[in-house]
Amino acid sequence: MAIFSLSVLSVPLSATPALSPYLVLTGGVSVTAETDYSSFITTPAASATASVQAGLVIGDSIWAAMIQGGQSYQAATAFTAEWYRYRGFYSLNLAAGPRLQLRYLDIYLLGGGMLARYNLSFSYFFFPYLEPGAAIPVLNWGDHFSIDLGLSAPVYLRADSFSVGLRAVATVSYNKEQVVLPWMGKEE
């Protein structure tokens, strides 16, 4: 017990991970198709998507962890050639995953769940989702804030349909130090 107590006391305070909060706005398009009605219409259809998220990056090395939550919206699709339309929905979501920080590129993979409600109804449902993405810093805002732009490809694994999308992503994040932008060159 004494050895354990001494080892805990020897950990420096700087060993606590860096925390970097951020806000995200996204917008894009999603393609949806039915998955469980083999005798019914399975024509894919496109719709608009958008989200507002808040998150936290934990760690400041090449690898870090992310946790992100917020609200998303997927509009109803246009009618297919068979006059079928996929319903739109609002959702609250929570996800987590790893982030890899390369020289100027952040690559991430989030996995989590969504609690959603169909438009104009009180039908609620839950489904898992995955969201790979990448972003680059484009602007420093003062000494601690940066704005990143990127793309993400959310995949909604719903029980009755499958959706995959492409979104433009704008992120405002708080950083301990000013971010080096690609056109600024590497700091010495």
pLDDT in tens, 124-183: 999 999 999 999 999 888 888 989 999 999 999 988 788 899 999 999 998 887 777 777
Question: How many domains does the chain divide into?
Answer: 1
Domain presence at residue 187: no
pLDDT average, residue stretch 13-40 = 79
Q: Record the tokens describing residue 47, joined without a space.
A: 């719709």
Domain presence at residue 121: yes
Look at strands 124-141 and 89-101 and give their pairing: unpaired
Which residues partner with 26 through β-bridges? Answer: 51, 169
- Phi and psi angles of residue 15, each rounded to the nearest 5 degrees, phi first: -75, -10
Domain presence at residue 61: yes
pLDDT of res. 11? 45
- Provide the domain limits for residue 75: 17-23+47-165
pLDDT of res. 7? 43
CATH number of the domain bearing residue 115: 2.40.160
Domain presence at residue 8: no
Give the DSSP H/E element, type plus range, for residue 7.
helix 2-9
pTM to 2 decimals? 0.81
Domain presence at residue 147: yes
Q: Which residue, among 69, 68, 128, 71, has the nearest Cα to 99 in the 3D structure?
A: 68
Domain presence at residue 79: yes
pLDDT of res. 108? 97
pLDDT in tens, 63-119: 999 999 999 999 988 776 767 778 889 999 999 999 999 888 999 999 999 999 988
Domain presence at residue 128: yes
Domain presence at residue 33: no
pLDDT of res. 38? 56
Give the DSSP H/E element, type plus range, for residue 136.
strand 124-141
CB 58 within 8 A of CB 68: no
pLDDT of res. 40? 52
